[in-house]
Amino acid sequence: MSLKLYADVHVRRAISVALRVRGVDVLTAQADGAAELEDPELLDRATTLARALFTQDEDLLAEGLHHPDVVVILGDFLDFSCAATLR
């Protein structure tokens, strides 16, 4: 089973695109029409879609600690060499 990510508005487009190029299934909240949802609703939406919520929102970290399917990137960049391990 491959990892399916649900990227919120805090994840830069370049990151989502780079992950897709590497074969990772990424759906953005914007593409899903959910860009305006609050954090709890985003978690619920990701769960409904059977996807891990993918974010750079440090405020979500507190909520995500109690949710098993949250991926939080801290900092301004992602080392794309690790993207292959996400497949």
- 22, 87 contact by CB (below 8 A): yes
Decide: helix, strand or coil at residue 84. Answer: helix
Give per-residue pLDDT as tens, 34-70. 999 998 898 889 989 999 888 888 777 666 556 656 6
Total domains in the chain come to 1
For 17-29, write each residue's pLDDT tens digit: 999 999 999 999 9
**C-alpha–C-alpha distance, residues 53 and 70, integer Å:** 5
Distance from C-alpha of 87 to C-alpha of 83, rounded to nearest angstrom: 7
CA dist., res. 41 & res. 34, Å (int): 9
Q: Pull the structure tokens for residue 56.
A: 């750079």
Alpha carbons 80 and 84: distance in angstroms, whole number: 8
What is the model's pLDDT at position 6? Answer: 93
**What is the model's pTM?**
0.77
Average pLDDT over residues 62-87: 55
Give the pLDDT of residue 86.
Answer: 45
What is the domain extent for residue 35? Answer: 4-86
